[in-house]
Amino acid sequence: MGVVVPAAGVGRRLGAGGAKALVNLAGRPLLAHAVAAMEANRCVAAVVVAGHPDALEAIARLLASEGFAKVTAVVGGGPTRQASVAAGLRALPPELAYVAVHDAARPLVGPGAVDRMLELLLRAGVAGVVPGMPVADTIRRVDAAQRSTGIVDREQLRAMQTPQLFARQALEEAHRLALRDGVEGTDEAALVELAGHPVQVVPGDPENLKVTTPLDLDVAEAILARRR
Ligand code: CTP
Ligand code: MG
């Protein structure tokens, strides 16, 4: 199993003013938290990081200083998350048949999450297994004038997390088709589904939040403090 870590975002909503992956959480960059959690899975043999082209040296220095044992490549990401994942996929060792994609912006994923999900992937006979959280808020549709046009049944909705696991062939085919058709997805599951492969949603982890805004950093600090 290989892991691709898209880490090339600039953290506009966080106000990071540079590579979000290098922003500190409890004294350690987000990327280091995320890679450490990926390495802590027995099934993971290789981790490829796709970083912002301007931050590659700093990222390589960080990964070396952390002493990570499974990071096999650091590559330049692209202008979109999807392009960054595609770049990471190209750098994965060719013999690995399964791929997990995990955002550098999710530093709190627990160790062993990929091991558990790979078991589900192998058992379920699907192309992908992806974690999703039930939606707690009432979801309402609005028109262009912000007039309410009705409620969406939240029982049918899941908010997607990473890591998302796939049979490598299915994910690579999905990326090829997306590139051909000019499709841009916000996660891998969207592309794999579009390529006609079944994807299974499994329960996500409420603590595995995505650091998007400064408030998320505060919440993440609190979760880490409680864990220690
Ligand atoms: N990402 C990436 N390449 C991009 C854009 C995003 O690899 N061109 C990665 C980010 O580094 C992050 C993940 O995709 O790990 C999820 O993206 P997001 O949370 O949106 O991070 P940013 O794009 O950095 O934040 P923002 O959208 O606020 O600028
Ligand atoms: Mg973004």
List pLDDT tens digits, range 73-89: 999 999 999 999 999 99
Report the residue among 5, 20, 188 best suited for mutation to probe ligand 1: largest number of ligand atoms under 8 A from its CB: 20
| Distance separating alpha carbons of residues 167 and 100, to the nearest angstrom | 9
Backbone angles phi, psi at 197, to 5 degrees: -100, 140
Q: What is the pLDDT, as a whole number, of residue 203?
A: 97
The answer to whether residues 47 and 57 touch, using CB atoms and an 8 Å cutoff, is no
Which residues contact ligand 1 via a Cβ below 6 A?
6-14, 20-21, 50, 77-81, 84, 103-105, 210, 212
Q: Which atom of ligand 1 is nearest to 34's Cα? A: 15
Q: Against a cut of 0.95, is the pTM above it?
A: yes
Q: What is the pLDDT confidence band of residue 180, given thresholds at 50, 70 and 90? A: very high
36 touches 80 (CB < 8 A): no
pLDDT of residue 195: 97
Of 118, 139, 145, nearest to 129 by C-alpha is 118
Tokens 């309410």 locate to 148
Q: Is 201 left (phi over 0), alpha (psi -120 to 50) or beta?
A: beta
Q: Percent of the chain beyond pLDDT 70?
A: 100
- Ligand nearest the Cα atom of residue 21: 1
Task: Say how many Å lie between the CA of residue 84 and the centre of ligand 2.
Answer: 11
Please name which of 26, 176, 56, 33 lies closest in space to residue 102, comparing C-alpha atoms: 33
Question: Does position 176 have pLDDT exceeding 90, yes or no?
Answer: yes
Question: What fold characterizes domain 2-227?
Answer: Spore Coat Polysaccharide Biosynthesis Protein SpsA; Chain A (3.90.550)
pLDDT digits (tens, 9 = 90+) for 44-55: 999 999 999 999
Q: What is the average pLDDT score of the chain? A: 97
Asked if residue 33 lies in contact with residue 5, where contact means CB atoms within 8 angstroms, the answer is no
Domain boundaries in the chain? Answer: 2-227
Mean pLDDT for 1-18 is: 96
Positive/negative CA dihedral, 172, 174, 175, 177: positive
Q: What is the pLDDT of residue 16?
A: 87
